[in-house]
Structure 1
Amino acid sequence: MTTLTAPPRASSLRWVLTDSWTVARRDLIHWTRNPTVIVAGLAFPIMFVLLYGYVFGSAMIVPGGVDYREFLMPGMFAQTMMFGAAATISAVAADRARGVTDRFRSMPMAQPAVVVGRSTADIVNSVLDLAVLVGCGLLVGWSPNAGLLPTLTAFGLLLLLRFAMIWVGIYLGLIVSEEAAGTTWALLFPLTMISNTFVSPSLMPPWLGTIAEWNPLSATVAATRELFGNNVPELVGTSWPAQNAMLLAVAWPVVIVAVFLPLAVRRYHSAVR
């Protein structure tokens, strides 16, 4: 009688990594073969840069004579990372509605590879989106002023936020229908607008400013402004979140991943049975 034994731990890990890259490569190929999706995804943040940087920004006066676009761009980078969750939700919901997720589940492959591959592909896409948006920022007059290491750290915090939002997106994509996935932008707008992206929470009504200061997006924006050297001391609040933005910029994404990663994996296994 033949006895089935579990594969060695190293082989199992290699299996997961190989299958994860296969799924990620599949998602990246789909992305490159749909240029309209690329253009639409990049047009939105670029439009916001031009709209807020030149139209509304012409009426903004930043203390200390700082150019408003320098204050704005770190917020735009972080906002784009958070809005990326909508793309993840749409892609996951589409795969589930079209039976792709079911086919993956029936194949002889490492099951964690489906969600790990999805997250890998989305991170790669986000790096490219961020690179384009940085180029746009440089064109409108933004620049990092604090050196190479702080700048790289700032980009790391932005991608950490995006990584956390990927798991939110995977979980929601496994719940909502393909049609409902297209409306998730409306849910993200309050999270991105009630923040320090465009103005300091200290200039908002007290109750709204408190909400904005505790917004996970605000922590990343404040931390990256400091790391890029685009911070305006006069606009930094005295509250605990404002004074500990760097800590919260790491803590919030870690908490989000700790909550939504297991939820997404559990939902994936139950949704396709």
Structure 2
Amino acid sequence: MNNQSETKEQNGADAKLLDAIASSKRPDRPSALSSSLTFAKRAMLRIKHIPEQLFDVTVFPIIFLLMFTYLFGGAIAGSTSEYLQFLLPGILVMTVAQITMYTGIDLNNDIRKGIFDRFRTLPIWLPSALVGALLVDTVRYSIASAIMIGLGFLLGFRPDGGFIGIIQAVALMLFFCFSLSWIWTTLGLIMRSEKSLMMVSMMVLFPLTFVSNVFVDPETLPGWLEKFVDVNPISLLVTAVRGLMHGTATLEQIGWVLFVSVLIMAIFAPLTMYLYRKK
């Protein structure tokens, strides 16, 4: 009899607990924008506590611009000031494009630590963790752009396109780099380690950025190499950015950059989400 009464009491307690839980109102599901901004804030807080992460967008752009301007300026253009007008848009694109790889590296680190396993169990819009990180990366790219352009003005850079041309050029570059980051998020989900991801990223980015029209006019290159440079996505972006800054850009040049950017996102954004759900 005692066991039966204890069982009834336990069942009654369980029923009361179930009623209490079931009767309480659950929090509303966060919107896609809200959850994305939350993850963006998380990435910003990580930068706040580890500020040396900004070295790649502060120190490196300065070193690159000073080194290439004064190393190649006299040899290629005969004047560092003249070469700077040609070089700065290209070196800006090269620097920002190269730091896009850190998007995939940060993602790979979170996956290896098990953080993203927890994120996937939350009742949120699934891509928000990735979109939030990409939004903060766009802020990082903007910082690098501001530093390089500011330093360029101190060194004598004078774009004919004026302030509007600079803003348009930076906006176009940010859009392209945002799309480029989706490639590294895909690789971040595939690669097993941070080192392997960095190696693959450098194998892709170094040929694209150095075998381009960043440093020299493609017409000075051998014919077979000029053909590669002409279709290189980095060259297409450099041409458009250089044209916008100096007021000579055409709709065709801008259109090709937008087309390539959309194409990259159309391929790698769905692929990233597929791997993110299945991994």
Fold match, TM over 0.5?
yes
Task: Indicate the residue corresponding to 1:119 in structure 2.
Answer: 134
Q: 1:263 aligns with which of 255, 271, 274?
A: 271
Is 1:150 aligned to 2:165, yes or no? yes
Rounded Cα–Cα distance in structure 2 between residues aligned with 1:73 and 1:145: 13
Kept in 1, the 8 Å contact 2:89–2:241? The answer is yes
Q: Which amino acid aligns with 1:35?
A: P
Which whole-Å deviations, capped at 9, do the CAs of 1:211-231 have from their partners, x for residues lacking one? Answer: 111011111111111111176
Task: Indicate the residue corresponding to 2:196 in structure 1.
Answer: 180
Which whole-Å deviations, capped at 9, do the CAs of 1:36-59 have from their partners, x for residues lacking one? Answer: 221244322222211110112221
Q: 1:107 aligns with which of 115, 118, 122?
A: 122
Bigger mean CA deviation after superposition, 70-79 or 45-54: 45-54
Rounded Cα–Cα distance in structure 1 between residues aligned with 2:155 and 2:165: 21
Q: 1:189 aligns with which of 206, 213, 226?
A: 206
The offset of 1:66, in angstroms, is: 7.3
Rounded Cα–Cα distance in structure 1 between residues aligned with 2:173 and 2:34: 27
Kept in 2, the 8 Å contact 1:115–1:265? The answer is no
Q: Indicate the SS of the match to 2:100.
A: helix
Rounded Cα–Cα distance in structure 2 between residues aligned with 1:171 and 1:163: 13
Which whole-Å deviations, capped at 9, do the CAs of 1:153-183 have from their partners, x for residues lacking one? Answer: 1111111111111111211111112231332
Kept in 1, the 8 Å contact 2:105–2:197? The answer is yes
Runs of 4+ in 1 over 4 A off after TM superposition: none
Kept in 2, the 8 Å contact 1:85–1:168? The answer is no
Between structure 1 and structure 2, the one with the greater Rg is 2
- Aligned residue pairs: how many? 250
Kept in 2, the 8 Å contact 1:77–1:158? The answer is no
Task: Indicate the residue corresponding to 2:217 in structure 1.
Answer: 200
Kept in 2, the 8 Å contact 1:71–1:230? The answer is no
Rounded Cα–Cα distance in structure 2 between residues aligned with 1:51 and 1:175: 35
Which whole-Å deviations, capped at 9, do the CAs of 1:8-39 have from their partners, x for residues lacking one? Answer: xxx87x61111111111101111232222212
How do 1:23-42 and structure 2 match up within 5 A?
23-42=39-58
Kept in 2, the 8 Å contact 1:119–1:163? The answer is yes
Which whole-Å deviations, capped at 9, do the CAs of 1:168-213 have from their partners, x for residues lacking one? Answer: 1211111112231332234311110111000111111111111111
Task: Indicate the residue corresponding to 1:92 in structure 2.
Answer: 107
Task: Indicate the residue corresponding to 1:163 in structure 2.
Answer: 178
- Aligned-pair identity in percent equals 32
Which whole-Å deviations, capped at 9, do the CAs of 1:105-148 have from their partners, x for residues lacking one? Answer: 12222212111111111111211121112112222221322133
Q: Which amino acid aligns with 1:135?
A: G
Is 1:55 aligned to 2:71, yes or no? yes
Quick one: structure 1 residues 230 and 203, their matched pair in 2 at CA, closer, same or farther if it must change by over 3 Å?
farther
**Structure that is richer in helix per residue:** 2
TM-score (norm 1): 0.84
Rounded Cα–Cα distance in structure 2 between residues aligned with 1:157 and 1:248: 11
The offset of 1:246, in angstroms, is: 2.3
TM-score (norm 2): 0.83
RMSD, aligned α-carbons:
2.3
Consecutive unaligned residues in structure 2, runs of 5 or more: 1-27
Rounded Cα–Cα distance in structure 2 between residues aligned with 1:250 and 1:192: 18
